[in-house]
Structure 1
């Protein structure tokens, strides 16, 4: 029997398989409100056999957006725009998750296909950014270091966003603490120069992430799965390390998270990454083995046999893919066909099941 197409139960949710859609920013929102694009983009994966579909990094406060075109969930209009997307995913038999995020010093930037790069000026719709310390990402505007009140607003923002996400119908919540965004900025000594209770030792640098997990779990209750995405290394000297990631992952699980979504990088522009198929899988394996906790792997996972082997090797409990779902929104059905796995096909697509 295929491991990739075996079910996985986390709290009250049973995932029909372990091939999941990674959150991917679409840069297509208006004032943080999801549009028709998001509806069509996300619901197609439910028809394509995804075990879990996680909506893109969605900001918990206005100033937390990566770009002015990012989605948000800090107000009820945004919540209400997400609700029909989730309903459509459910109608097609899918499970819907959302990634709750704050970009910190990497907020207020141009979207990838804009003519400009770097920070968006306030005159063009940008805003002042915040971070653990007044240390800019290379080429971006210098952020304002968060004070105690600012940190409290971050925690409240995640809590309120989690409540709105559940009201919109989402089944799974993911806390974004990777790719150089705010919670990752607190974790790494390269961006966190604080000397208070949120800086210095690993325990202090992890404090904000753990407070956010506490707040989200309080809202989620006992039944909703909570994932935490981390960058297990900064790929830069003096940065966050895999051993530290395993320790923080253990702490997050103890505070109410259920699975650690292991990625890497994004904190500094001078990172050096050897990118190749499955290049982040060993990081997931390290966190899983050292922490003894459930993890998912992600990063250039592009075919069924590769994904199956990751699970067979014991490197991860589930697999996130991104690019391959964009190339083929029915990646799940294709992978099941290639592995000879028995899965539920939409009746409209049954003619493609056997030949």
Structure 2
């Protein structure tokens, strides 16, 4: 296994390709196939941290106290968190390079995990009075936790800060890391604040790690759906009339996010409507693409149109909306029209933003 778990960077507001946006609803993170053989006497079965603690304990990543408790509300130290993270990532904590921390003994049970995480680029420590330190016994703050989780699971943290937490500003060092966790539902904050300086508890740490691991499922789901949609739209398609003349052609470029529609039509509404109606047979407005999970389409500033109830009626509505956009300046011409597609795959919601580029061939 690699030193670090490799998950493609996924963010709620991260562009996966030019012109295309996918989102994963935070509520979509669930826990599957949980093992509950391990039990702790002080856990609340209704608590958010209950299943995460049991799942990590079953894997031998976390342990309780001799009295049979886990003490989920106790603050966790940086070294304790390091040991758990290293275990979750299955890092080699024996054959490690000396990280050079002057406040970390090589005889410590935490030396191997901290050294492994440092070598993997997840921990870096700091310099105090000219000495490299890691402050292993200090409690772990929520800001520090965000960085460690994001680095450990390769979450995309180079994103604009848009989270609703009022106590984190975009210019703070941890803003991107907090955003990365918020994007995937790994953290929900405390009301309208993130509580960046509060300490992370043992229960919360298990919960954050477990959610981060489950985000890998979301990444795979999104990538699979994205690729299927890209492949479908990139396969250049055409519709011919009864005489074999091509009247509609479509093509999609995943690099630019542009969906080209070439229509062989006269510059009048009737001809244009007739040609656009052919789009039901191919491409973005075809019923085939709904089988990939497409549920809604939103044209420009219009409301999203549901494709799952009455497909024909939905396509008629969308066609008229496209016509309205084409005629916005009072004449028929080529237009770049923003279209947002909503795709539902299992418990995940994905959104794709593309540019519909209409081109008249006459």
Query: Shorter-normalised TM-score: what interval?
Result: under 0.3
| TM-score normalised by length of structure 2 | 0.25
| TM-score normalised by length of structure 1 | 0.26
Report which of the two structures shows the higher radius of gyration computed on alpha carbons: 2
Bigger share in helix: 1
